[in-house]
Structure 1
Amino acid sequence: MSDVRTYIQSGNLVFSSEDPSGAKMALEKSLEDYAGKAVGVMLRSAQEMQDVLNANPFQEANPSKIGVLFLNDAPPRDTVLIAKGRADEEIVLGAREVYIHFPSGMGRTKLRLPVMSEGTVRNVNTIGTLVKMATDT
């Protein structure tokens, strides 16, 4: 890994690598050594992150109220049907993501998706910043 940069203290890391799979495994091993337990890593290329932004089904909504749940695999098809605590949230499945619009704000939601334990959520503003960091040379 090279050109390693972090963004805010929620586990966002931007870096260059000729071996993304090897980098993912190395990060997972280092985090497990540090934390004493397995810690999952979600890895996306700059283009994949840009694709996530482009595929956002809530383009007209306030970006700070749109969360993207990043997963390593495709979300289960029944994710929307088995959502718990849903109020005004809108949920759309992506390729390896779940897009969630939180009209009342992320901090007020009671929404629970079983798949949330397998991933990590970032708002669209954060994703945009990470894309910019990854593409700035």
Structure 2
Amino acid sequence: MTTYVALLRGINVGGHKKVPMAALRELLTDQGYGEVRTLLQSGNAVFTASEKAPAALSREIQQAIEESFGFEVRCVVLSAAELRGVVERNPFPRSSFEPSKLVVIFLSGPVDPERLSGIDPQGYLPDEFRLGEREIFLHCPNGLGRSKLADVLGAADLGVTATARNWNTVTKLVLMTES
């Protein structure tokens, strides 16, 4: 069995697309996944399954949610090893950021760097971003709520599903995959 993380996009925000975590755990268990656990109310689930491509798991979960709750929810699935790889690829030195001010935007696939070429990094300092393999690292020293760069990245047409988590959540999910 392989451990995976599912990151649901845009649920339980402002009273829209409500997916209670107990219901999500039950849904994933009913789909045949094992050891299902959730973190926070923002749609973070850790589970085990037979080894399968994350994109296939994502499609299965999205379909099950739509059938069960009646609305579409996009999600990004990563194996535990892929999530650890994201942590290892963090381009910002650990001593240079507060965990609540570093965000990882998880992507369903690689992004063509050309899609980000219209963003002038100098125009958004001190905020910075770095493109990873299937993620974008976004550092907002003054906080995410004040970041114009976060708004621009959120509105960018990346051509893939994207969902963001702060560094605290990312590291908690890694710990969950190890226990």
Give the TM-score of the pair, scaled to structure 1.
Answer: 0.87
Alignment match, 2:137: 99
Question: 5+ unaligned residues in a row in structure 2: which ranges?
Answer: 1-32
What letter matches 1:41 in structure 2?
C
Query: Structure 1's 81 and 121: CA in aligned 2 closer, same or farther, altered over 3 A?
Result: same
Identity, % of aligned pairs?
A: 35
CA contact (8 A) 2:91 2:130 kept: yes
How many residues in Structure 1 have an aligned counterpart in Structure 2? 136
- Counterpart of 2:178 in structure 1 is 135
The one-letter amino acid of 2:67's match is: D
For 2:45, give the aligned amino acid.
L
Q: Write out per-residue CA displacement over residues 46-82 of structure 1, whole angstroms, 9 at most, x where no aligned residue.
A: 1111110111011231121111110111122034432
The reply to whether residue 126 of structure 1 matches residue 175 of structure 2 is no
Structure with bigger helix share is: 2
Aligned to 1:90: 128
Report the CA distance between 1:43 and its aligned residue.
Answer: 0.6
What is the Cα deviation at residue 40 of structure 1? 1.5
Secondary structure at 1:43's aligned position in 2?
Answer: strand
Q: TM-score w.r.t. structure 2 length?
A: 0.68
Q: 1:68 aligns with which of 81, 87, 104?
A: 104
CA distance, structure 1, for counterparts of residue 42 and residue 67 of structure 2:
18
How far, CA to CA, are the matches of 1:35 and 1:93 in structure 2?
33
Structure 1 gaps of 5+ residues are none
